[in-house]
Structure 1
Amino acid sequence: MTTLLTNVGLEFAQGFLTALGLGLLMGLERERRTTSRAGLRTFGLTALLGAVCALLASHFDAPWLIGAGLLAVAAMMIASYSVRPDPNDPGTTSVVALLLAFGFGAMAWYDEFRSQAVMLAIVSTVLLYFKAQLKRLTSKLTERDIISILQFAVLSLVILPILPDQGFGPYQAINPYQVWWMVVLISGVSLAGYGALRVAGQRHGAPLLGVLGGLVSSTATTLVYARHSRETPTLNRLALVVILTANLVVLVRLSTLTAVVQPGLLRDLLPQMLGGALAGLVVAVLMWRHMGRQDDLPELELRNPTEIRTALTFGAIYAVVLFLSAWLADIAGSRGLYLVALASGLTDVDAITLSSLRLYSLDRVTAHQAVTAVGLAVLANLGFKLAVVTVVAGRQLAQRVALGFSAVAIGGLGGWWLGTASWIAG
């Protein structure tokens, strides 16, 4: 009996203390704002009221008590702002925040919802705190940016859920849901880089431009800065740092995609990705240190990465590469897969990487074959971009880019060799 009472007391205390803590957390942020009618005590008490209502609802089997408490809090706040209106603070945010505090307090009473209540309360407090920053951010958004966000929402929340999750065609290689999930994944990564580029702009120098450009499109970044170098020869070193950094980000990007799509293969892929990235990073840092200050950085304008046409194009490329990889791997073994990797890697390294990961998950290729295919695609992609730089910018920049790309290739090959040696030893 004593143990039972102790357990009940602990559960009782935990529910109410969690509710009080969440209310005080949100109230702390509201207390800082002099125009807010609800502060630290009001939010703490409201969260406790939510827990009390949840307790009574559980005890009397009357879930309507929670809804009644929520309506009472809403009526109280609306009446407060109606009696004493404040043109500087219409109270909408505080009313919604207080209702959330009540809801989180009610959730905190139930053990199965307690962790979710804590997470949601923290997220809500963050949104309340960063009001000014979010306002500045939204003021920077252009119509094109809003369209990009809406298009990504269509790709991920409208199209993806309605696609069938099953294999079609020869080898059952084409799974519409999986194909479009890769489209959403690539578009999301690219959109994140695009958004960061729009927010950060050109203020933080060449390395940041290279990182953000590599997230959106390393090929487009290489082409844009090769063109800038041709038009303004004094930008040669700047273009070199941006181009090299953007292509180092590709290695990080591929590792991240592997961690998301096929985490079991990450350990095998990481040596060559890490080797190439470290070797290239040494060259990039040396070039950046000798570059000197660049106050006037040229704009890096990139296309919206979530356009429906762009998404459909990538989806089609991925599906074709996936089918060709499965087909050629079946009739020609690893040599067929490697041939597709070299060919497709010239223009898009994401598609062959995701295709190799997919084939590995279907047990159609081994880990060694998948990792080798990705490495060949990266080498082919570097060769293609070096050719682009040579044609667009000329020999002077191409020679410097070739030095950086060679370091990436040698480092990647060294990592691949170490991985191969460990496979043989295993």
Structure 2
Amino acid sequence: MENNFLTETGLEFAQAFLLSLGVGLLMGLERERHSSSRAGLRTFALTALLGTIAGLLGEKSGSEWVLAAGLLMVGLMMVAAYHSRPDAQDPGTTSVVALLLAYTFGAMIWYQEQTLAVMLAILTTVLLYFKTELHLLSEKLTRKDLISMLQFGVLSLVILPILPDQGFGPYLALNPYQVWWMVVLISGMSLAGYAALRLFGQQHGAPLIGLMGGLASSTAITLVYSRHVKATPNLLRLSMVVILTANVVVLVRLSLLAAMLQPELLPQLLPALGGGLLLGLVVIGWLWRILGDQSGQPETPLNLHNPAEIRTALTFGCIYAVVLLLAAWLSDVAGSEGLYAISLISGFTDVDAIALSSLRLFGMGKLPMHEAVNSIVIAFLANLVFKLGIVFSVAGPSLGRRIGLGFLALAAGTIGGWIFMHL
């Protein structure tokens, strides 16, 4: 019995030490690439093992100071190594921190946090490896971009946690936490497209511009490229591809929102959204073949607003809260007709607000599944009509008629999928 216990204990020890060795070797492999680094493959592997041994000794002795002493020794050792042979090009800060992390990961492995330790070790190695790319990325960021990220941090990490998570008002439809969570979700999705446009530019072609721009703001993309056509008529076909792609992305965006917030609604919603997506992709593919190579076309700058700006977020939050309250009230007073009316009106300006409110009411059990699906479809179709009006009023009939045919395909596919769902 005692032998079995010792055998099992020995296997546990061996597993912990081998995993620590692997973590250290992983990080050391990356540091070994830098000739100026004072710590390489063996140093990182031994340091991770030292962290595990320090965890073992600390547990057996009942003293927490063993771990702290080991961490201090590793830090002082690396500081002394760089002080003895200073290098102006590599002050050693990164290697010192990385080695301390390797020691910490070794200790975590001993304390049964293997999965977290390995995940953090891999992420740390990725950060170390992509030093050049991260430097180039930081050089591309402007003051406006940094402000965008900070503002999103305020929206998601400062405001959201302090809001009460309970219903207020008529029908208990207004939950401050849930309302702001939708603001964070939409702002984050839009910020991803905004950041992609800023980082990768527009040199990768019209479909990619439409894809990223559709995530940022399909309405803004429609307006901007309509203006470009008015100023530069030879951008007509390019603008068609960009605008249609951005509006096809709206269908993908709505599908993602449903999948994240109310996945049980997705099977009923997908036929309608999928039908529009399918026909939209066919039209875009056909237009792209006609368009051919447009690399010689002048670059068209996009001046999209920051989607994480506090004022923008507050505006969307207010719109969403009002739409949510009106949708709940009209659904109760006037039934489905009242809900569809607010879907139609709201869809003319913002499809996200009514889509989120419908998903929210469905999740609260205050809206049947088919009515939630119908309201989202109506809002999307109304939004297409609104954007078509933008194209006609800004760019004129030359682009308007062509975009109208593309939007007609999107609408036909969406309605066709909706009809198929009800068969």
Q: Deviations over 1:358-391 (max 9, x none)?
A: 0001100111111111111000000110111011
Q: How much has 1:267 moved relative to structure 2? A: 2.0
Residue 368 of structure 1 contacts residue 420 of structure 1 at CA under 8 Å; is this kept in 2? no
Q: How much has 1:398 moved relative to structure 2? A: 1.1
- Counterparts of 1:394-409 in structure 2, within 5 Å, are 394-409=396-411
Q: Deviations over 1:393-415 (max 9, x none)?
A: 11121111111111111111122
- Counterparts of 1:11-410 in structure 2, within 5 Å, are 11-111=12-112, 113-295=113-295, 296-410=298-412
Q: Deviations over 1:5-52 (max 9, x none)?
A: 333222212211111111111111100111111111110000000011
Amino acid at match of 2:9: V
Amino acid at match of 1:109: W
Tell me the TM-score normalized by structure 1. Answer: 0.97
Equivalent-residue separation in structure 2 for 1:64 and 1:268 (angstroms): 59
Residue 56 of structure 1 contacts residue 65 of structure 1 at CA under 8 Å; is this kept in 2? yes
2:421: which partner in 1?
A: 419
Q: Deviations over 1:231-280 (max 9, x none)?
A: 11111110000000000111111111112222222222122111111110
Residue 35 of structure 1 contacts residue 89 of structure 1 at CA under 8 Å; is this kept in 2? yes
Equivalent-residue separation in structure 1 for 2:305 and 2:135 (angstroms): 25
Equivalent-residue separation in structure 2 for 1:180 and 1:420 (angstroms): 34
Equivalent-residue separation in structure 1 for 2:301 and 2:344 (angstroms): 32
Q: How much has 1:331 moved relative to structure 2? A: 0.8
Q: How much has 1:54 moved relative to structure 2? A: 0.8
Amino acid at match of 1:83: S
Equivalent-residue separation in structure 1 for 2:321 and 2:70 (angstroms): 53
Equivalent-residue separation in structure 1 for 2:413 and 2:322 (angstroms): 30
Q: How much has 1:206 moved relative to structure 2? A: 0.4
Equivalent-residue separation in structure 2 for 1:349 and 1:387 (angstroms): 16
Amino acid at match of 1:178: Q
Unaligned runs of 5+ in 1: 422-426
DSSP-derived class of the 1:299 partner: coil
Q: Deviations over 1:346-365 (max 9, x none)?
A: 11011101100100011001
DSSP-derived class of the 1:117 partner: helix
What percentage of aligned pairs have identical amino acids? 64
Equivalent-residue separation in structure 2 for 1:207 and 1:124 (angstroms): 34
Equivalent-residue separation in structure 2 for 1:129 and 1:362 (angstroms): 46
Equivalent-residue separation in structure 2 for 1:279 and 1:68 (angstroms): 65
Equivalent-residue separation in structure 1 for 2:261 and 2:7 (angstroms): 46
Amino acid at match of 1:74: G
Equivalent-residue separation in structure 2 for 1:328 and 1:64 (angstroms): 65
Q: Deviations over 1:143-163 (max 9, x none)?
A: 111111111111111111111
RMSD of equivalent CA atoms = 1.0
Total equivalences in the alignment: 420
Moved more, 57-66 or 226-235: 57-66
Q: Deviations over 1:265-319 (max 9, x none)?
A: 2222122111111110110111011112222231122011111110000000000
DSSP-derived class of the 1:369 partner: helix
Residue 325 of structure 1 contacts residue 355 of structure 1 at CA under 8 Å; is this kept in 2? yes
Amino acid at match of 1:38: A
Distance 1:417 1:7, change over 3 A: farther
Tell me the TM-score normalized by structure 2. Answer: 0.97
Equivalent-residue separation in structure 2 for 1:358 and 1:411 (angstroms): 26
